[in-house]
Amino acid sequence: MRRHLFNVQRLTFNISIWLVLGGLIFTVFSSPLLAAPPAQAPDTPPSVSGGRALWTENCQPCHGPTGQGDGPASQNIPDPLPNFSDPKTAWQHIPAENFNVIKNGRVEKLMPPWGNRLSDAQIWDLTAYVWNLSVKPAELAAGETLYTEKCAACHGSSGSGDGPEASANMVSFTDLAVMTQRSQVELQANFKAGPEHASLNTLSEQEISQVLNYVRSFSFTVPQRDGILKGQVINATTNKPQGNIPVTLRIFEGNNEVEHMTTQADSTGNYTFEKLPTDHSILYAVEGRYKDISYLSDQPGLFTPDSTETTLNLNVYETTTSAEAINVKQLHYLISFTPDAVNVVQIFVVGNQGKHTYVGTNGQTFPFKLPQNAQNVIFENDPTGMRFVEADDGYVDTEPITPGEDSVTIVAAYKVPLADSLDIEVPLPADIASANVLMQDQGAKLNSPQLQFVEKREFQGDSFSIYNAANLKKDQDLVLQLTDLNKLAFAAAPAGPGAVATASGGLNQDHLRWTIVGLGGVMILLVALGYPYLRPQLTHQPATEEDSSMRRQKLLLLLARLDKAFEAGELDKRIYHRARAKYKAELMQLMEG
Ligand code: HEC
Ligand code: HEC
């Protein structure tokens, strides 16, 4: 079954094969007798942050997001890939050798050369990034403390060998020509061999490794960690601080959760996290559990360019079993066609206007049905496969519904087998303020007693017809009548959001993810274009202390970062959806007012 599916992994694999072939050709045409010139030391310290985006784009498909060698394309490589996150491996690596491998490749082992597409400076940044994959930020912080106490007197606080007790010919840890030729293992051996270090023999192996990783940071710049994030847990049902609960700070760097830290909020609900990276690519989320329900901060936190302090509060709520505050604001439909089926992605956006988290009865919160002729149903954002329970010829969501406009998003994808004409009847679980249908223009016609045609629009190279309906009533069916299905035309090389399903008859999780990403893009465009029916309701937010241009800058940054992280498919969807809607609404309010 999976074999038939167009999938992202295969696509990535094709790309890597192409790269490998490209590399082979490159190697064949450059003289095989000329050994690659040795790495030239870089002029300026390579930067870990500089390598991040390059890594995501070029290396992650094989080496994996955290360098463990588990990227999707690694499945097609016979030998196991190195695990860069394992200090044992990383400590053997000589930076200049890694530079050479990255630049010239090891084509026979399927490691492509990058020298023909990346500059030396970029390859150095990647070398620094690869080193950093084995280093935990907390260890670097511990290493810094040790260094200041035990090493700076001779080696100097900047590592250049100019401390008050320095001897005549100290090596400078900032000397790139030297440091790029030393592996961590070699630094360790030299450290242990040096008689001037005899008095330091009380250091444990772990401490030595921490301090030597810190020593490396004199030649490879690592992101600064001087950020402080403060916040308060507020019980938003009672509007009082909620003290004494453990809170976790989750740190997303680029596309991945790279770290988390846990602390206890004090009796007034206040918490502080320190020594945080303040890079642009980093987003923070605070998570806490209250009465067995886990809550995430309504928006992610970040540091604005010139500040090292930021605030991120966490709301928690009392629970209720009364569904009266639950509503469905929006229903979105994306329809595309394959030769054997109509492919549908259906999204209910469920909100809670109350001040309590709705927990339902027996943990079941939101019942809904899918059209009777739906097949191959899969749900997005259901990693355990247990979120949606089958019941009463439909499904029930088990996610608690926290207060908010769009606290739960139910995304189902399914196929309806093709006939010359067919009806898709969507039973409505609640009154729905607005329904939007985007149908890819492939020759079919859509009629519906409820929907009105709005217009045609191009998205990412595909043409879509947009329809809208307002104020649909619960227990009605939204009826989509599809005709002219015998006139469908299929492009040879599908592209764009609607095409996700057209390359094959099936859908899988990767597939769906791309559909959502594509659809998300479309929806975001619509909102940006000011379609009134898609505009989030602007709630008047309490004035913040930040002045509005500052806030605007922050929001724009946040949105850009959020999208990037989400497009890579790694950012927690709960954070993404909530945050995006909120920022967008706030941003528009700022722009208008
Ligand atoms: C097509 C898959 C693929 C891609 C893409 C890829 N690599 Fe590799 N890489 C490999 C394989 C396979 C090896 C192991 C080679 C070997 O066994 O010696 C490797 C080895 C390496 C090594 C040497 C490790 C060692 O133990 O000596 C480094 C460093 C490296 N890759 C960095 C990168 C960087 C940086 C990128 C992105 C610019 C990248 N790789 C992209 C497959 C890939
Ligand atoms: C009493 C002065 C002194 C102190 C304290 C000291 N060092 Fe050194 N260190 C030296 C001298 C002298 C050398 C040898 C000359 C050179 O290579 O710079 C050296 C060499 C080294 C080297 C080898 C560099 C290379 O060439 O590979 C490392 C690594 C090192 N020290 C790390 C440390 C660390 C880490 C600490 C603290 C835990 C420390 N040193 C504390 C004086 C000191």
Protein residue whose Cα sits closest to atom 27 of ligand 1: 98
Token pair of 397 as six digits: 């969501």
Is ligand 1 within 6 A of the CB of residue 111? yes
- 173, 159 contact by CB (below 8 A): yes
Token pair of 100 as six digits: 């050479």
Question: How far is the C-alpha of 425 from the C-alpha of 177, rounded, in Å?
Answer: 69
Q: Which of 196-200, 256-260, 444-448, 493-497 has the lowest average pLDDT? A: 493-497
The pLDDT of residue 566 is 64
Residues 6+ away with beta carbon under 8 Å from 433: 327, 328, 329, 330, 470, 471
The pLDDT of residue 22 is 35
The pLDDT of residue 539 is 29
Question: How far is the C-alpha of 410 from the C-alpha of 442, rounded, in Å?
Answer: 27
- 510, 454 contact by CB (below 8 A): no
Token pair of 11 as six digits: 């696509």
- 377, 346 contact by CB (below 8 A): no
382-438 residue pLDDT tens: 767 888 999 878 999 999 999 987 778 888 888 999 888 899 999 999 999 888 888
Q: How confident is the model at residue 530 (pLDDT cuts 50, 70, 90)?
A: very low
Ligand lying nearest the CA atom of residue 161: 2
Instruction: Looking at the CA of residue 19, tell me the nearest atom of ligand 1.
Output: 1
The pLDDT of residue 172 is 96
75-124 residue pLDDT tens: 888 889 999 999 999 999 999 999 999 999 998 888 999 999 999 999 99
Between 407 and 55, name the one with better pLDDT: 55
Is ligand 2 within 6 A of the CB of residue 170? yes
Is ligand 2 within 6 A of the CB of residue 153? yes
Question: How far is the C-alpha of 274 from the C-alpha of 569, rounded, in Å?
Answer: 28
Q: Which of 52-66, 226-240, 550-564 has the lowest average pLDDT? A: 550-564
For tokens 């992280």, the residue is 565
Mean pLDDT across 251-269: 82
The pLDDT of residue 68 is 93
Position 1 pLDDT exceeds 90: no
Instruction: Looking at the CA of residue 190, tell me the nearest atom of ligand 2.
Output: 23
Is ligand 1 within 6 A of the CB of residue 123? no
The CA 206 to ligand 2 mean position distance, Å, reads 17
Between 26 and 3, name the one with better pLDDT: 26
For the chain, what is the mean pLDDT?
Answer: 79
Position 486 pLDDT exceeds 60: yes
The CA 18 to ligand 1 mean position distance, Å, reads 15
Instruction: Looking at the CA of residue 186, tell me the nearest atom of ligand 2.
Output: 27
Ligand lying nearest the CA atom of residue 179: 2
302-355 residue pLDDT tens: 887 778 999 999 999 999 999 999 999 888 888 888 888 898 888 888 889 999
Question: How far is the C-alpha of 226 from the C-alpha of 231, rounded, in Å?
Answer: 17
The CA 162 to ligand 2 mean position distance, Å, reads 12
